[in-house]
Amino acid sequence: MKKWILALSLAGGVLALSACNQSGSETIAESKAGNVTQDELYKTMKEKVGDQALQQLVYEKVLSKKYKVTDKDVENKIKQLKKDLGANFETALAQNGYKSEAELKSTLKLGMLQEKAAMKDIKVTDKELKDYYDNYKPEIKVRHILVKDEKKANDVKKQLESGKKFEDVAKKESIDTASAQNGGDLGAINNQNAAQYDKDFVKAAYALKVNEVSAPVKTQNGYHIIQVTKKEEKKPYNDMKKEIEYQVKSSKLTNEAVSNAMQRELKDAKVKVTDKDLKDALKPQPAVPGQG
Protein backbone atom coordinates (compact mmCIF):
# COMPACT_ATOMS: atom_id res chain seq x y z
CA MET A 1 0.00 0.00 0.00
CA LYS A 2 1.54 3.26 -1.10
CA LYS A 3 2.01 5.99 1.49
CA TRP A 4 -0.20 8.43 -0.42
CA ILE A 5 -3.03 5.87 -0.40
CA LEU A 6 -2.53 5.25 3.31
CA ALA A 7 -2.83 8.99 3.91
CA LEU A 8 -6.44 8.77 2.73
CA SER A 9 -7.49 6.65 5.71
CA LEU A 10 -10.18 8.61 7.52
CA ALA A 11 -11.42 8.65 11.08
CA GLY A 12 -14.24 6.18 11.71
CA GLY A 13 -17.66 7.37 10.67
CA VAL A 14 -16.74 10.37 8.55
CA LEU A 15 -19.11 9.38 5.78
CA ALA A 16 -21.96 9.64 8.25
CA LEU A 17 -21.21 13.36 8.36
CA SER A 18 -22.96 13.97 5.07
CA ALA A 19 -26.06 12.10 6.18
CA CYS A 20 -26.65 13.55 9.62
CA ASN A 21 -27.34 17.16 8.62
CA GLN A 22 -30.99 16.61 7.77
CA SER A 23 -33.11 17.55 10.74
CA GLY A 24 -31.25 19.68 13.26
CA SER A 25 -33.83 19.33 16.01
CA GLU A 26 -34.17 15.55 15.92
CA THR A 27 -32.96 13.85 19.10
CA ILE A 28 -30.60 10.93 18.54
CA ALA A 29 -29.63 10.20 22.16
CA GLU A 30 -31.45 10.81 25.45
CA SER A 31 -30.19 11.03 29.03
CA LYS A 32 -31.13 12.51 32.40
CA ALA A 33 -28.37 15.06 31.84
CA GLY A 34 -29.87 16.19 28.54
CA ASN A 35 -30.44 15.07 24.96
CA VAL A 36 -28.08 15.06 21.97
CA THR A 37 -29.52 16.31 18.68
CA GLN A 38 -28.49 15.62 15.11
CA ASP A 39 -27.35 19.21 14.82
CA GLU A 40 -24.99 18.82 17.79
CA LEU A 41 -23.58 15.61 16.38
CA TYR A 42 -23.11 17.19 12.95
CA LYS A 43 -21.28 20.19 14.40
CA THR A 44 -18.99 17.99 16.47
CA MET A 45 -18.16 15.68 13.58
CA LYS A 46 -17.70 18.67 11.31
CA GLU A 47 -15.13 20.14 13.68
CA LYS A 48 -13.25 16.88 14.12
CA VAL A 49 -13.27 15.31 10.63
CA GLY A 50 -15.15 17.77 8.43
CA ASP A 51 -12.20 18.66 6.18
CA GLN A 52 -11.34 15.00 5.56
CA ALA A 53 -14.94 13.96 4.93
CA LEU A 54 -15.59 16.82 2.51
CA GLN A 55 -12.34 16.10 0.71
CA GLN A 56 -13.23 12.43 0.27
CA LEU A 57 -16.77 13.12 -0.89
CA VAL A 58 -15.74 15.82 -3.41
CA TYR A 59 -12.79 13.84 -4.76
CA GLU A 60 -14.99 10.78 -5.34
CA LYS A 61 -17.67 12.81 -7.16
CA VAL A 62 -15.18 14.71 -9.33
CA LEU A 63 -12.90 11.78 -10.19
CA SER A 64 -15.69 9.26 -10.79
CA LYS A 65 -16.98 11.48 -13.63
CA LYS A 66 -13.71 11.17 -15.57
CA TYR A 67 -12.08 7.94 -14.42
CA LYS A 68 -13.37 4.42 -13.89
CA VAL A 69 -12.48 2.07 -11.04
CA THR A 70 -14.79 -0.94 -10.76
CA ASP A 71 -15.54 -3.09 -7.74
CA LYS A 72 -13.62 -5.84 -9.52
CA ASP A 73 -10.57 -3.56 -9.80
CA VAL A 74 -10.70 -2.97 -6.05
CA GLU A 75 -11.18 -6.69 -5.33
CA ASN A 76 -8.14 -7.50 -7.48
CA LYS A 77 -6.08 -4.95 -5.54
CA ILE A 78 -7.21 -6.51 -2.25
CA LYS A 79 -6.32 -9.98 -3.54
CA GLN A 80 -2.85 -8.75 -4.51
CA LEU A 81 -2.34 -7.21 -1.07
CA LYS A 82 -3.37 -10.48 0.58
CA LYS A 83 -1.04 -12.37 -1.71
CA ASP A 84 1.86 -10.03 -0.95
CA LEU A 85 1.28 -9.88 2.79
CA GLY A 86 0.19 -13.47 3.37
CA ALA A 87 -0.52 -14.15 7.04
CA ASN A 88 0.40 -10.55 7.90
CA PHE A 89 -2.56 -8.99 6.04
CA GLU A 90 -4.78 -8.51 9.11
CA THR A 91 -1.87 -7.18 11.15
CA ALA A 92 -0.98 -4.66 8.42
CA LEU A 93 -4.63 -3.60 8.27
CA ALA A 94 -4.66 -2.80 11.97
CA GLN A 95 -1.24 -1.14 11.97
CA ASN A 96 -2.36 1.26 9.25
CA GLY A 97 -5.52 2.26 11.10
CA TYR A 98 -8.13 0.29 9.18
CA LYS A 99 -10.93 -1.19 11.28
CA SER A 100 -12.13 -3.54 8.54
CA GLU A 101 -11.50 -4.76 5.03
CA ALA A 102 -14.55 -2.77 3.89
CA GLU A 103 -12.93 0.46 5.13
CA LEU A 104 -9.76 -0.42 3.24
CA LYS A 105 -11.76 -1.02 0.05
CA SER A 106 -13.34 2.44 0.30
CA THR A 107 -9.93 4.05 0.74
CA LEU A 108 -8.36 1.98 -2.04
CA LYS A 109 -11.05 2.95 -4.54
CA LEU A 110 -10.42 6.64 -3.99
CA GLY A 111 -6.68 6.04 -4.05
CA MET A 112 -6.95 4.20 -7.37
CA LEU A 113 -9.02 7.06 -8.84
CA GLN A 114 -6.37 9.53 -7.70
CA GLU A 115 -3.68 7.31 -9.16
CA LYS A 116 -5.38 7.35 -12.57
CA ALA A 117 -5.60 11.14 -12.49
CA ALA A 118 -1.97 11.60 -11.45
CA MET A 119 -0.61 9.02 -13.92
CA LYS A 120 -1.57 11.33 -16.80
CA ASP A 121 1.27 13.66 -15.84
CA ILE A 122 4.01 11.03 -15.57
CA LYS A 123 6.30 10.23 -18.49
CA VAL A 124 8.56 7.19 -18.90
CA THR A 125 11.20 6.28 -21.48
CA ASP A 126 11.77 3.00 -23.32
CA LYS A 127 15.12 2.71 -21.52
CA GLU A 128 13.40 2.92 -18.13
CA LEU A 129 10.97 0.18 -19.14
CA LYS A 130 13.72 -2.11 -20.44
CA ASP A 131 15.91 -1.51 -17.40
CA TYR A 132 12.97 -2.46 -15.17
CA TYR A 133 12.46 -5.67 -17.17
CA ASP A 134 16.15 -6.58 -17.02
CA ASN A 135 16.08 -6.26 -13.21
CA TYR A 136 12.67 -7.88 -12.83
CA LYS A 137 12.46 -11.06 -10.81
CA PRO A 138 9.39 -13.30 -11.11
CA GLU A 139 7.14 -13.55 -8.07
CA ILE A 140 7.88 -16.27 -5.56
CA LYS A 141 5.80 -17.66 -2.70
CA VAL A 142 7.86 -18.01 0.46
CA ARG A 143 7.66 -19.46 3.95
CA HIS A 144 10.30 -19.41 6.67
CA ILE A 145 11.24 -20.45 10.17
CA LEU A 146 12.99 -17.74 12.18
CA VAL A 147 15.14 -18.59 15.20
CA LYS A 148 17.58 -16.63 17.37
CA ASP A 149 20.89 -18.38 16.74
CA GLU A 150 22.74 -20.54 14.20
CA LYS A 151 22.80 -23.60 16.47
CA LYS A 152 19.01 -23.61 16.66
CA ALA A 153 18.77 -22.98 12.91
CA ASN A 154 20.90 -26.06 12.20
CA ASP A 155 18.69 -28.08 14.53
CA VAL A 156 15.60 -26.90 12.64
CA LYS A 157 17.26 -27.83 9.35
CA LYS A 158 17.94 -31.35 10.66
CA GLN A 159 14.33 -31.71 11.79
CA LEU A 160 13.17 -30.92 8.27
CA GLU A 161 15.72 -33.28 6.72
CA SER A 162 14.43 -36.05 8.99
CA GLY A 163 11.01 -35.73 7.39
CA LYS A 164 9.13 -33.39 9.70
CA LYS A 165 6.64 -31.11 7.95
CA PHE A 166 7.78 -27.52 7.43
CA GLU A 167 4.52 -26.03 8.72
CA ASP A 168 4.64 -28.15 11.90
CA VAL A 169 8.22 -27.15 12.68
CA ALA A 170 7.41 -23.49 11.95
CA LYS A 171 4.51 -23.51 14.42
CA LYS A 172 6.70 -25.07 17.09
CA GLU A 173 10.06 -23.33 16.60
CA SER A 174 9.65 -20.01 14.75
CA ILE A 175 9.91 -16.80 16.79
CA ASP A 176 8.07 -14.96 14.02
CA THR A 177 4.73 -15.61 15.67
CA ALA A 178 2.67 -13.87 12.98
CA SER A 179 3.78 -16.26 10.24
CA ALA A 180 4.37 -19.26 12.53
CA GLN A 181 0.67 -19.80 13.13
CA ASN A 182 0.28 -20.14 9.36
CA GLY A 183 3.10 -22.63 8.93
CA GLY A 184 5.71 -19.93 8.30
CA ASP A 185 3.85 -18.47 5.31
CA LEU A 186 5.06 -14.98 4.32
CA GLY A 187 2.98 -14.69 1.18
CA ALA A 188 4.51 -13.55 -2.09
CA ILE A 189 7.74 -11.66 -2.73
CA ASN A 190 7.91 -9.66 -5.94
CA ASN A 191 9.40 -6.49 -7.41
CA GLN A 192 6.86 -4.32 -5.62
CA ASN A 193 7.42 -5.55 -2.07
CA ALA A 194 10.94 -7.04 -2.08
CA ALA A 195 12.37 -3.88 -0.49
CA GLN A 196 10.38 -4.68 2.66
CA TYR A 197 12.60 -7.71 3.27
CA ASP A 198 16.25 -8.01 4.21
CA LYS A 199 18.43 -8.12 1.06
CA ASP A 200 20.21 -11.30 2.15
CA PHE A 201 16.85 -12.96 2.79
CA VAL A 202 15.58 -12.06 -0.70
CA LYS A 203 18.83 -13.13 -2.36
CA ALA A 204 18.73 -16.51 -0.61
CA ALA A 205 15.05 -17.02 -1.42
CA TYR A 206 15.49 -16.34 -5.15
CA ALA A 207 18.44 -18.74 -5.29
CA LEU A 208 16.22 -21.64 -4.22
CA LYS A 209 14.37 -24.06 -6.47
CA VAL A 210 10.72 -24.78 -5.76
CA ASN A 211 10.32 -26.76 -2.51
CA GLU A 212 14.06 -26.59 -1.79
CA VAL A 213 14.95 -25.70 1.82
CA SER A 214 17.77 -23.24 2.45
CA ALA A 215 20.72 -23.45 4.80
CA PRO A 216 20.48 -20.99 7.72
CA VAL A 217 20.37 -17.40 6.45
CA LYS A 218 21.52 -14.69 8.83
CA THR A 219 19.76 -11.31 8.97
CA GLN A 220 19.37 -8.63 11.64
CA ASN A 221 16.30 -10.50 12.90
CA GLY A 222 18.06 -13.80 13.49
CA TYR A 223 18.53 -16.95 11.42
CA HIS A 224 16.03 -18.06 8.78
CA ILE A 225 15.32 -21.42 7.22
CA ILE A 226 13.58 -20.55 3.94
CA GLN A 227 11.48 -22.54 1.51
CA VAL A 228 10.06 -21.34 -1.82
CA THR A 229 6.79 -23.12 -2.54
CA LYS A 230 6.00 -21.46 -5.87
CA LYS A 231 7.93 -19.52 -8.50
CA GLU A 232 6.49 -17.79 -11.55
CA GLU A 233 8.17 -17.87 -14.95
CA LYS A 234 9.49 -14.59 -16.38
CA LYS A 235 7.33 -13.58 -19.35
CA PRO A 236 8.68 -12.04 -22.58
CA TYR A 237 9.14 -8.24 -22.52
CA ASN A 238 6.31 -7.48 -24.94
CA ASP A 239 3.87 -9.52 -22.85
CA MET A 240 4.82 -7.52 -19.76
CA LYS A 241 5.23 -4.05 -21.28
CA LYS A 242 1.86 -2.68 -20.15
CA GLU A 243 2.37 -3.94 -16.59
CA ILE A 244 5.94 -2.62 -16.55
CA GLU A 245 4.81 0.83 -17.71
CA TYR A 246 2.30 0.93 -14.87
CA GLN A 247 4.89 -0.12 -12.29
CA VAL A 248 7.50 2.39 -13.47
CA LYS A 249 4.97 5.23 -13.53
CA SER A 250 3.63 4.16 -10.16
CA SER A 251 7.14 4.25 -8.68
CA LYS A 252 7.36 7.92 -9.65
CA LEU A 253 4.13 8.88 -7.91
CA THR A 254 4.60 11.14 -4.91
CA ASN A 255 2.23 12.87 -2.51
CA GLU A 256 3.06 16.12 -4.31
CA ALA A 257 2.23 14.68 -7.74
CA VAL A 258 -1.13 13.39 -6.49
CA SER A 259 -1.88 16.72 -4.77
CA ASN A 260 -1.10 18.64 -7.96
CA ALA A 261 -3.35 16.33 -9.97
CA MET A 262 -6.19 16.82 -7.48
CA GLN A 263 -5.91 20.60 -7.70
CA ARG A 264 -6.09 20.34 -11.49
CA GLU A 265 -9.17 18.13 -11.35
CA LEU A 266 -10.93 20.39 -8.82
CA LYS A 267 -10.20 23.43 -10.99
CA ASP A 268 -11.51 21.69 -14.12
CA ALA A 269 -14.68 20.69 -12.25
CA LYS A 270 -15.13 24.28 -10.97
CA VAL A 271 -15.50 23.10 -7.37
CA LYS A 272 -16.47 25.81 -4.88
CA VAL A 273 -16.85 25.28 -1.12
CA THR A 274 -19.77 27.36 0.17
CA ASP A 275 -19.48 26.42 3.85
CA LYS A 276 -17.23 29.05 5.49
CA ASP A 277 -16.14 26.58 8.20
CA LEU A 278 -14.81 24.19 5.56
CA LYS A 279 -13.49 26.77 3.09
CA ASP A 280 -9.90 25.48 3.36
CA ALA A 281 -10.73 21.76 3.20
CA LEU A 282 -9.70 21.38 -0.43
CA LYS A 283 -6.63 23.58 -0.40
CA PRO A 284 -3.30 21.78 -0.94
CA GLN A 285 -1.51 20.96 2.29
CA PRO A 286 2.12 22.09 2.76
CA ALA A 287 4.64 19.36 2.05
CA VAL A 288 6.09 17.51 5.02
CA PRO A 289 9.94 17.48 4.94
CA GLY A 290 11.28 14.07 3.99
CA GLN A 291 8.08 12.87 2.29
CA GLY A 292 7.86 12.55 -1.47
Q: Is residue 71 in a domain?
A: yes
HEC states along 26-89?
CEEECCCCCCEEHHHHHHHHHHHHHHHHHHHHHHHHHHHHHCCCCHHHHHHHHHHHHHHHHHHH
Do both 113 and 152 map to the same domain? no
The answer to whether residue 69 sits within a structural domain is yes
Q: Are residues 13 and 110 in the same domain?
A: yes
CATH number at residue 166: 3.10.50.40
- The rounded Cα 57 to chain-centroid distance in angstroms is 21
Asked if 115 and 260 sit in the same domain, the reply is yes
Rg for the chain, CA atoms, rounded: 24
Q: Does 189 map to a domain?
A: yes
DSSP H/E element including 228: strand 222-231
- Give the closest residue to 141 by CA, choosing from 257, 230, 265: 230
Domain that holds residue 92: 3-119+254-278
- Is residue 51 assigned to a domain? yes
- The predicted model scores a pTM of 0.65
CB 258 within 8 A of CB 63: no
Per-residue pLDDT tens, the chain, 292 aa: give them: 454 444 444 333 344 444 444 445 788 888 888 898 888 888 888 888 888 888 888 999 999 999 999 999 999 999 988 887 877 888 888 888 888 888 888 889 999 999 999 998 899 999 999 999 999 999 999 999 999 999 999 999 999 999 999 999 999 999 999 899 999 999 999 888 888 899 999 999 999 999 999 999 999 999 999 999 999 999 999 999 999 999 999 889 888 899 899 999 999 999 999 989 888 889 876 554 444 4
**Measured distance CA(170)–CA(146) in Å, rounded:** 8
Contact 249, 42 (CB under 8 A): no
> Amino acid identity of 62?
V
Distance CA 238, CA 243 (A): 10
